[in-house]
């Protein structure tokens, strides 16, 4: 499992430290999601893959087991490791979602991501308005300020925005709702790197202003108003992506 925020950090070209195991997982997973290794194809033999990635058989096998757990591949006796149909992929896995950032644009997938956000973040906002603590509000205000002062740093802005979503999830006291942060991170990364509805600078300014308003309504416990502002936040991201 990758750390939340890894995709946003990668937008600046910064690479996280990695070991051989995570390197192989990322290389093969990326190749599958982007279509380099096509669905239904059988991966090359262990010897070929070991030479390609410069790793031992043990590292390769462990990486393939991880990818199998994500639903991307399936090992079959006397056949080898075959790339699984997309219907078996775990699309709630943050790493699987992050690989889609580099894949060919898929409007149907993007629409699905925003449907999930609409379905799950709305109750999250409602819970946050009921259960937020003073510390939650303090953190929301801090990260909103970081969004406002990010200037031209897409990475700083994106990470601060992701933190806001994380605090809202924590304040709602529902651990399962926090699991959609991978969905949020991918849609946020897409919105940050596309100039569709507005320029990147204008998008970031509008988004920061909306989250400041959202924080105020959560602090005041204004359920209906918070829901309306959240909807505006989501639609802004959506218009910038689709």
Token readout for 72 is 């991307």
Tokens of 153: 């740093």
**83 pairs with which residues across the strands?**
73
**Cross-strand bridge partners of residue 75:** 81
Question: What's residue 215's pLDDT?
Answer: 98
Threshold 0.85, pTM exceeds: yes
Domains and CATH numbers, the chain: 6-88 (1.10.10.10), 105-241 (1.20.120.530)
Span 53-103, pLDDT tens digits: 999 999 999 999 999 999 999 999 888 999 999 999 999 999 999 999 999
- Take residue 191 and report the two structure tokens written for it: 């919105």
For residue range 208-232, list pLDDT tens digits in order.
999 999 999 999 999 999 999 999 9
Supply the pLDDT for residue 15: 60
The larger pLDDT score, comparing residue 51 to residue 14, is at: 51
Q: What is the predicted pLDDT for the residue at 178?
A: 82
Whether the Cβ atoms of residue 74 and residue 81 lie closer than 8 Å to each other: yes
Better pLDDT: 2 or 172: 172
Looking at the predicted structure, is the pLDDT value of residue 131 above 60?
yes
For tokens 């990326």, what's the residue?
Answer: 30
Three-state secondary structure call for residue 80 = strand
Average pLDDT, the chain: 94
Could you tell me where the DSSP H helices lie in the chain?
A: 6-10, 20-33, 46-53, 57-69, 94-100, 107-131, 134-148, 154-171, 181-192, 200-220, 223-241
Place 17 in a pLDDT band, splitting at 50, 70 and 90.
low
């Amino acid at each position: 499992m990758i750390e939340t925020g890894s995709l946003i950090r990668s937008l600046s070209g910064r690479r996280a430290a990695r070991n051989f195991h995570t390197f192989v997982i990322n290389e093969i997973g990326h190749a599958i999601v982007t279509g380099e290794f096509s669905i239904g194809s059988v991966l090359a033999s262990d010897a070929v893959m070991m030479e390609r990635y410069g790793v031992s058989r043990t590292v390769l096998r462990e990486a393939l087991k991880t990818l199998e757990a994500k639903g991307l591949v399936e090992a079959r006796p006397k056949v080898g490791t075959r790339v699984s149909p997309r219907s078996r992929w775990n699309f709630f896995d943050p790493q699987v979602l992050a690989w889609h950032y580099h894949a060919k644009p898929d409007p149907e997938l993007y629409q699905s991501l925003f449907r999930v956000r609409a379905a799950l973040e709305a109750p999250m906002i409602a819970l946050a308005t009921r259960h937020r603590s003073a510390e939650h509000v303090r953190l929301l205000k801090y990260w909103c300020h970081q969004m406002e002062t990010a200037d031209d740093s897409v990475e700083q802005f994106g990470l601060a925005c992701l933190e806001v979503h994380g605090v809202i999830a924590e304040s709602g006291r529902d651990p399962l709702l926090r699991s959609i942060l991978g969905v949020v991170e991918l849609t946020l990364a897409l919105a940050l790197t596309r100039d569709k509805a507005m320029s990147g600078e204008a998008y970031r300014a509008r988004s920061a202003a909306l989250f400041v308003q959202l924080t105020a309504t959560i602090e005041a416990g204004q359920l209906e108003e918070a829901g309306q502002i959240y909807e505006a936040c989501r639609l802004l991201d959506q218009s910038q992506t689709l």
